[in-house]
A and B are shown apart, each in its own frame.
Chain A
Amino acid sequence: MVKRRNEHGDEYYDNYNVPADKASTVLEALLYIKENIDQTLSFRYSCRMEICGSCGMEINGRPRMACSTQLASLHSDIIKISPLPHYNVIKDLVVDFDPFFDKYKKVKPYIIRDDDGNYSAEIPQTPEQFNEFKGYAQCIKCGLCMAACPVVGTDENYLGPAPLTALFRYNIDNRDQGIMYRIDIANSDDGTSRCHFAGECTEACPKDVRPSFAIQKLRVQGLKYELKNIMGGKK
């Protein structure tokens, strides 16, 4: 069953019968439909190997990557595919990622330096320093975590799991000096205080980034920063 949405905004389900072997993925099934049954079906994909983050969709009630979800793993002959929730649908399974990327930009996900990048020597980074943020840097911006988060589903201004994880990832990068530009964003009403650790983002993440863990650590970092300010520390 695939949820469809036409140019008039009408939504309905179409049923397709697809042959499958034990290694077939949901993306292969969708491509089979597109090539053999219904050319009007729209969905987004590119790399087919869980790198590009394009083919996120809701499969049997959970946000998953179509390319890395094997049909056999769903243990059902009937598979229900819908567009990712919490996004506006453009057509069929294609959703609008602009609001997600806008939030991502808001957290300043890049190295900020006092020297404005005009450094003369290399900035060293030990393997330990690298390992601190390595896991969080695996994010492929597939947006599954935003679809899984119950608060993103009611508060469209909440920055959400992936952007807050990116914010934390740069805050703990030893080359970065921009924490003071990001921490107020994290501490705002649309930041970490909207997270209640339902943990569904971590469940949904295909790259094991564990955004819910990053947000709790960011919350403590934000608290320390706030307390330091109150005690008279400098920003």
Chain B
Amino acid sequence: MNNKNSNGLKGLGPLGWLLQVITGVFLIFFLGIHLYLANIDFGHPIRFFTAVLENLHNGYWLAFYIVFTYIVLYHGLNGVRGILYDRFDSQKSRALIKYSLSVLYVVTAIYGTLLALAVSRIAIP
């Protein structure tokens, strides 16, 4: 057995799994609405520039998309963490994976927020 094993190292454990489940359930709701709005909306899909801007000028939708970004990012990157943990089993590599993905989460979340805010401030043509 690998002597650099991580047995005994306490990770997020069952709480990480619970959060993955909770964010997954939220995503069914968020993604359902997003797919409907962006692709169907019975005749008026939010596809082109003006429609996107109009949508984001509404404060509720802006908040919706920002929260959506945080949730989908958590679910996605925590999923990637799980997959990488299955492959890299030493304590050192797992710490590196955890910190790298945490940084990636923060950077992407900030970028997503700033992008949504910036777009919401563009004047509707």
- A interface residues (Cβ-Cβ under 8 A, vs B): 99, 102-103, 106, 151, 154-159, 184-185, 187-194, 196, 219, 222-223, 226
Contact = CB atoms under 8 A, between A and B. Distances in A.
Pairs of residues from A and B, 10 with the lowest C-beta to C-beta distance, nearest first? A223-B14, A187-B13, A189-B11, A157-B5, A157-B89, A155-B89, A222-B14, A154-B87, A190-B7, A151-B86
A226 B13 contact: yes
A187 B9 CA distance: 9
Contacts of A187: 10, 13-14
Given A106-B7, A157-B6, A158-B89, A188 B1 contact: no
Given A189-B94, A219-B14, 18 more contacts: A102-B1, A155-B85, A156-B1, A157-B1, A157-B7, A185-B7, A187-B13, A188-B7, A188-B8, A189-B6, A189-B10, A189-B11, A191-B13, A192-B13, A193-B13, A193-B14, A194-B85, A223-B14
B25 interface: no
A184 B85 CA distance: 18
B6 A226 contact: no
Find the residue from A159, A190, A223 having the highest chain B CB count within 10 A. A190
B28 interface: no
B31 interface: no
A196 B82 contact: yes
B18 interface: yes
A188 B11 contact: yes
B63 to A, nearest CB: 28
18 contacts: A99-B1, A102-B1, A155-B85, A155-B86, A158-B89, A184-B10, A187-B14, A188-B6, A188-B7, A189-B9, A189-B11, A189-B85, A190-B5, A192-B13, A193-B85, A219-B17, A222-B13, A226-B13
Interface residues of B, number: 22
Contacts, number: 77
B82 A190 contact: no
Contacts of B8: 184-185, 188
A184 B10 CA distance: 8
A156 B2 contact: yes
A223 B89 contact: no
A192 B16 CA distance: 11
A202 to B, nearest CB: 19
Contacts of B1: 99, 102-103, 156-157
Nearest to A102: B1
B9 A193 contact: no
A189 B94 CA distance: 9
B18 to A, nearest CB: 6
Contact of B17 (A99, A159, A188, A223): A223
